[in-house]
Structure formats: structure tokens, C-alpha cells
Chain A
Amino acid sequence: MILETRQLSKTYQVGQEEIHALRGVDFQADSGDFTVINGPSGSGKTTFLNLIACIDRPTSGEVMIEGQSTNQLSESHLAELRKHKIGLVFQTFNLIPVLSAYENVEYPLLLLGLNRAERRKRVMGLLEEVGLKDLARRRPDELSGGQRQRIAIARALVTEPKIVLADEPSANLDSETGKQVMGIMRHLNQDHHVAFIVVTHDPVVTQYAQRIVKIRDGQLSEENSRGASTKNPAA
């Protein structure tokens, strides 16, 4: 099991009021899964993604990556874990504007301390896979939205992570480009045998899912082939 959550909860304090963004979520994902977590705005999608990406800490419950609990890990250990095992794709692409497409994809490899030749091999390989080898020298502001998202996908995969987490990856793209990006993600999922977890409110994205999980009011329910829901979708 690559990823597992146990009774994961997150509560925010807003003034005197407590907001329960997640309520005791159990979830599992394995290598090669392509899971889409679908739900409306405010349902807890991004909170769930932040917790399983180890960029936020749960109020209770735990996140296990490859069987190891992340609850007790220090900030620097969590940074190491994210660097080696997790790739992230953001809704707004989040590329570093002062770096070229090549350098953006290369950035996580600099964190890993790989040598120049190895970095070049991996970066160019992935740029070719996302179809942007010829635009490697361009800065993000010289690329279209779809191209930027493909660079972001290449950056997420370049460290050969165990899991890629994508937060509304097609939300800032037109429908055609969104489909292209999802197609690339699905293709890379199959080629690299990496678990993809995509959170989205866009029903179109669910077409690419191998597995669909609904989220509503901070609770997950798996949608089976007959359209019926099962709460707490531990696979």
C-alpha cells in the first residue's frame, strides 16, 4: 500500500466557530492507481490533498506513506518525504517565474543533489513525454496555460515519486486543453506506474478515473460501477 489514511480529521477554528473540514476519513491507494476525488467547492478536497501531501497536519488520525506514519515526523523529515515520494500538480501551475521550463523541471532534482548529466537525462526525457522538448528554454510567461500545466506535470514526475497529487489540474484550462492534460496524466500514470490522486469538482475529469471517490462535507464515499456509494473507501 502506497498511501493510507486512518480516521483522518481536520478542524479549523474560525473565530468562535469550529469548521470540520474532514471527518474521520479512511482511504487507501496503491501503485498505479488513478483515483479521482470529486466533490463540490468546500467539500474538503484541498484539505484532504494537503494532508496526504504532508504539507498540513491533521487534527486527528494519521497519514501513512508506504506503511510509515507521518504524524510524528519533523518538518525537515516531511520535506525529505515530499522530495522523494510525492509529486504535486497545482491548479494554478505554480511554476517558478524566473526559471525556464527546463529549470523548473530540474528544480526538484537539484534538491535531490543529482549530477548534471543525470538531471539532463531525466528532464529532457520527461519534457519529451509531455511534448515540450522544443520549449525547454522558455520562461513560464512565454507558455500557454496547457503548456505550463504539462511542465508542472513533468516537474511532479521527475523525481520518480510514488504518488502524484493533483489539485484541480484542469480548472484553469479550457475544456479541450484540460482533456489533453488529463490524457497526458493518465498516460504517464500507466507508463510510470505511479499512483495519481486527482481532486476536482469537474465531472469531465472523472472520465479518466480508474477509481472515483466522492467527497462531501468532509467525508469520502467510493462510487462503484453501479453508481452506488460506499463510505470510507479503503480500496
Chain B
Amino acid sequence: MELQLKIPLRNLTRNRRRTLLCVAIIALGTAMIYAVLGYVDQTLYQIRFGTVAQYGHFQIASPTLWSEKTEGYDYLIQDGKLAQIDQILKQQPEVEAYTTELSFSGLASTDRKTKVLRATALVPANTAHDYNEFVIDGQGQGLQPTDRGKALIGKLLAEELQLKPGDFFRVTTTTVDGAYNVGPLEVAGIFTVYNTQADSQLIFVPLSYGHTLLDTAGVAKVIVKLKNLDETNRVAAAVQQQLTAAGLDLEVRTGFQLAVFYQQAIAFFNMLFGFIMLSVAVLVFFIVLQVLTMSFLERTREVGTIRAIGTRSSQVFTMFLMESTFLAILGAAAGLVLGWVLGQGFNALGITWEPPGVSEAVPVQLRLMWSNAWPPFIVSLIATLLSALYPSIHSARLRIADALRTS
């Protein structure tokens, strides 16, 4: 082991400038991958957070609602079924809270304008699905459990209708039986979910108001919040099993299943990260290959000497590979530190951008977790070791007599 450690380690100090160049290339590659991964991870984290905020961890509803084959409001869950669902959810210790919602479409109008709206009637201030946190600072307040004729209104819709907190507007819709119904609503607060479509159409009203407007006691779905995101699939499956066992024709869908955008975003960002990672790895591979080939070729006579005095070719190969491993570890570790420092600096700049379909600029942040450090470290290690493979094999297989003749 001494043989495999001493010479490779000493060789790193032999040509310091070249070693530094190699370390710098590997470090730069590692830092780039670390930063890109930090950006992708932060974006996915935001999307995941947004998905859970929008859909909950999972939802329970009639299969006809999920399949969008419903006519009218035949998918509504009535009181008796709600009591059974309540029993089932209470048996799951992972369930932190749940709430019920009712959705409908209609028209929002003031004396000046009328706009199409999508309304969600919900239990105000229920922690399972609370939109109060999206109320813009200084633009009113969230819905309270005692509120009845109040609403939260999307920022762009409020702008279109020229509404501000305390103003009134009318909602026109049809009851579950198809009759027109109109009701007044006071703007409690204006919110943004940073989504152009949602901000221009969505309003939130108390569930009791929705029941009155639609003339029903039913709800469209039950939204469940868990204590731990990672338990989503397991608990959702367990609840589905219990619903079926109880003879309830209801279907559980996780927030991530419902959010088509989430699936697409995951696929896109994984592809983006894969592409950038591969590009950087290829770049590191070729540059390090060139540097190592030159470095190993310079030692041809030395290889001839140690082979002549009894070193096996496999030992020569191991020595070169060990040297490359040390180089890779050094470069990758330096890269992580560099990436972390530069990332922190970048985060401190507070740069923002407006993604497509998003109504407000969002900060561009890098999520520099140590758990994200492994992929760039491993990729740099593999890229460096792959680039060392050819010169190492070439050096190990040299004919001794030819190697000794090299000047």
C-alpha cells in the first residue's frame, strides 16, 4: 500500500503548475455542476412546495371528477360519506390536517366590468389548505373562520375589475340544480400565486358561502395534508385501501399526480441538469486527458525503470490511477468549496427573473445543500478517472526496453 500511496502522492507535487491546472479544471467543472444542481434543486423545491400548497399531499374525490366525465354536480360528496372519510383519516397518524372544498365557475362583475372566474369555496384558515399566506402584504387580510360574505381575489383579476380590499363585487353562477344565483362579496384580501392564469381568474370564498350559492351541502373533494412529504405515496395507498374496503366509490390522487406541470417540470429539469452535467463532464474529461497524457508520457523512462526492477504492469497502472484519484478528490473537494462560496455570493446578489406563465419576478436562488454535493463530486471523480484510464493503461503496457530508451 505504501507503494501505491507514496509515489502517486509525491508525483502530485512534482509539477505543481500542472497539478494546479488539473485541480482547477476539475474544481471548475465540479463547481459548475454543483451550482446548476443547486438551481435545479431550488426550482424543483419551489415547484414541489407550490404543488403541495395548491393540491395538498393528496386529495379524495369521486372518480368521475378526476376523469372529467361528470355532468353537473353528480360528483359531490355528501355528509354521510364525509363522516366515513373522517373516520378513515383519523386512523392515519401521518395525517396532520384535512379540509373540504367546492369549486365552481361563474362571472365576477362590478358596475364597470364583468370577468370570468373560477371560485374555490374552502374552510377559512384551515391549515390543510390555507391560501391566506398568499395574500400580498398591504393588500388586505386572509379569510377568517367567522367570515361569510368575503373573498380573496387574484391580483390580476382585482386589477381588471379595479377592486381593492373592502370593495364589493357580485358573483353569478348556477346552483347544483341549474338555477341562476347571484351573491355579493366583499374583497377581504388580494393574493398572488405567481401564476398568470390563476391570478387572473381565481377567487377563494368561505365554504359556507359556496354551499349557499350552489344550494348544496356537498363538497367536491377532501384535501389532506401530511406531516411528512415523503410519506405521501404510502399513506395515500393506505387510505385508498380503506376507502375501497368501506365500499366508498372514491379515488385518492396525490398532489404530484394532479399537477401535470410538476411532472413536466421534473422531466425538463432532469433533462436540463443531465445535459449540462454531461457537457461539463465531457469538457473535464478531454482537458484532464490531455494534461494527464502529457504528464504520464514524461515519465516513460521512469516507468521503464520501475518495471525493470520488478514492478508489475498492474502495479504501474494502479500507481497512475491512484495519482489520478488523488487529483480528482482534491479537485472535486476544491470545486465543492468553490461552488458553495460562489453560490452564496450569487444568492446574496438577490437576482430575480420572470419565468413564463408567472405573474411576478421570482428570486433566482441556488440550493447549496451538502446532500447535493455528491452528484458533482462523483461525476468529477468518474470523469477524471475515465480520462486517466487511457494514459494509465498505455504507460502500464509500455515495452520495458523501449521505455528505457526514451530520453
Chain A residues at the B interface, C-beta cutoff of 8 Å: 50, 53, 55-56, 75-76, 79-80, 82-84, 87-88, 90, 92, 94, 96-99, 103, 107-108, 110-111, 155-156, 159
Contacts and interface: CB of A to CB of B under 8 A. Distances in A.
A55 B14 contact: no
Given A82-B310, A94-B302, 11 more contacts: A50-B400, A55-B307, A75-B312, A76-B312, A79-B312, A88-B308, A90-B305, A98-B7, A98-B13, A107-B3, A110-B3
A56 B400 contact: yes
B311 A111 contact: yes
B24 interface: no
Interface string B305-317: 1111111111100
Contacts of B315: 111
A107 B309 contact: yes
A90 B7 contact: no
Contacts, number: 70
A79 B301 CA distance: 17
Contacts of A99: 6-7, 10
Contact of B309 (A56, A76, A98, A155): A155
Given A55-B404, A90-B404, A94-B302, A79 B310 contact: yes
Given A94-B302, A97-B14, A108 B7 contact: no
Contacts of B233: none
B308 A53 contact: yes
A50 B403 CA distance: 12
A178 to B, nearest CB: 21
Nearest to A103: B6
Nearest to A56: B401
A108 B6 CA distance: 14
B68 interface: no
14 contacts: A50-B401, A55-B404, A76-B312, A79-B313, A83-B309, A90-B404, A94-B301, A94-B302, A94-B304, A96-B302, A108-B310, A110-B3, A111-B309, A111-B311
B11 interface: yes
B2 interface: yes
Contacts of B10: 98-99
Interface in B39-88: none
Contacts of B302: 94, 96-97
A84 B310 CA distance: 8
Interface of B: 2-3, 6-7, 10-11, 13-14, 301-302, 304-315, 399-401, 404
Given A90-B305, A98-B13, A55 B401 contact: yes
A169 to B, nearest CB: 14
B59 to A, nearest CB: 66
Listed residue (B3, B310, B311) with the most chain A CB atoms within 10 angstroms of its CB: B310
A111 B3 contact: yes
B14 A79 contact: no
A88 B309 contact: yes
Contacts of B311: 79, 111
A107 B306 contact: yes
A88 B304 CA distance: 12
A111 B310 contact: yes
Contacts of B404: 50, 55, 90, 94
Contact of A79 (B2, B6, B307): B307
A50 B14 CA distance: 29
Contacts of A98: 7, 10-11, 13-14
Contacts of A90: 305, 404
A82 B306 CA distance: 11
Contacts of A53: 308
Contacts of B7: 96, 98-99
A111 B305 CA distance: 13
A98 B13 CA distance: 9
Nearest to A158: B309
Contacts of B314: 76
A140 to B, nearest CB: 11
A51 to B, nearest CB: 9
A32 B313 CA distance: 31
A162 to B, nearest CB: 13
Contacts of A96: 7, 302, 305-306
B15 to A, nearest CB: 11
Nearest to A79: B312
Contacts of B399: 56
Given A55-B404, A56-B400, A103-B6, A83 B305 contact: no
Nearest to B9: A98
Contacts of B2: 110
A75 B305 CA distance: 15
A92 B404 CA distance: 10
Nearest to B302: A96
A55 B400 contact: yes
A56 B11 CA distance: 28
A55 B3 contact: no
A92 B405 CA distance: 11
Contacts of B313: 75-76, 79
